[in-house]
Amino acid sequence: MNDLVGKHIVLGLTGGIACYKAAELCRALIREGATVQVVMTAAAQQFITSVTMQALSNRTVYDSQWDVREPNNMPHINLSREADAILIAPCSADFMSKLLHGSADDLLSLLCLARPLDQVPLLVAPAMNREMWAHPATVRNVAQLRADGAVVFDVGSGDQACGESGDGRMLEAQELLDDVIAFFQPKILSGQHVLITAGPTYEAIDPVRGITNLSSGKMGFAIARAAREVGAEVTLVAGPVHLPTPRGVTRIDVTSARNMLELTLAHSRNADIFVATAAVADWRPSNAAEQKIKKNGSGTSPTLSFIENPDILATLASSQRARSGDFYCVGFAAESHELLANAQAKRLRKGIPLLVGNIGPATFGQDDNALLLVDESGATEMPRDSKITLARKLVVEIAARIAKRGSQHED
Asked if residue 274 binds ligand CTP (CB under 6 A), the reply is no
State the Cα–Cα distance between residues 65 and 50, nearest whole angstrom.
16
Between 323 and 409, whose beta carbon lies closer to ligand CTP?
323
179 Cα distance to chain centroid: 8
Q: Is 47 left (phi over 0), alpha (psi -120 to 50) or beta?
A: alpha
- Whether residue 304 contacts residue 293, with contact meaning beta carbons closer than 8 Å, is answered with no
Asked if residue 199 binds ligand CTP (CB under 6 A), the reply is no
- Out of 311, 368, 375, 397, the residue judged to bind ligand CTP by CB under 6 A: 311
Asked if residue 309 binds ligand CTP (CB under 6 A), the reply is yes
The gap between the terminal CA atoms of the chain, to the nearest Å, is 42
Query: In the stretch 205-244, what mask flags binding to ligand CTP with x, by CB under 6 A?
Result: ----------------------------------------
Asked if residue 328 binds ligand CTP (CB under 6 A), the reply is no
Asked if residue 53 binds ligand CTP (CB under 6 A), the reply is no
- Out of 15, 16, 168, 331, the residue judged to bind ligand CTP by CB under 6 A: 331
- Out of 99, 280, 372, 374, the residue judged to bind ligand CTP by CB under 6 A: 280
According to CB under 6 A, which residues from 340 to 359 bind ligand CTP?
A: 346
Asked if residue 333 binds ligand CTP (CB under 6 A), the reply is yes
The verdict on whether omega for the bond into residue 383 sits within 30 degrees of 0, i.e. cis, is no
Between 134 and 341, whose beta carbon lies closer to ligand CTP?
341
Residue from 199, 312, 189, 188 nearest 245 by CA: 199
- Out of 133, 202, 328, 332, the residue judged to bind ligand CTP by CB under 6 A: 332
Nearest-approach distance from CB 306 to ligand CTP, in angstroms: 13
- Whether residue 52 contacts residue 88, with contact meaning beta carbons closer than 8 Å, is answered with no
Q: Which residues does residue 197 pair with via DSSP β-bridges, in sequence order?
A: 237, 276
Which amino acid does the sequence have at 18? A
Between 40 and 333, whose beta carbon lies closer to ligand CTP?
333
Indicate which residues carry an active-site annotation: 162
> b/e map of 145-156 (b: 16 or more CB within 10 Å)?
beeeebbbbebb
Asked if residue 24 binds ligand CTP (CB under 6 A), the reply is no
Helices in 187-276 by DSSP H: which ranges? 218-229, 257-268
Between 53 and 356, whose beta carbon lies closer to ligand CTP?
356
For 172, residues 6+ apart whose C-beta sits below 8 A from its C-beta are: 21, 156
Asked if residue 257 binds ligand CTP (CB under 6 A), the reply is yes
Asked if residue 278 binds ligand CTP (CB under 6 A), the reply is yes
State the Cα–Cα distance between residues 152 and 405, nearest whole angstrom.
34
Asked if residue 334 binds ligand CTP (CB under 6 A), the reply is yes
Residue from 197, 390, 355, 370 nearest 276 by CA: 197
- Out of 282, 326, 338, 367, the residue judged to bind ligand CTP by CB under 6 A: 282
Nearest-approach distance from CB 218 to ligand CTP, in angstroms: 14
Interface residues with ligand CTP (CB under 6 A)?
197, 257, 276-278, 280, 282, 309, 311-313, 331-334, 346
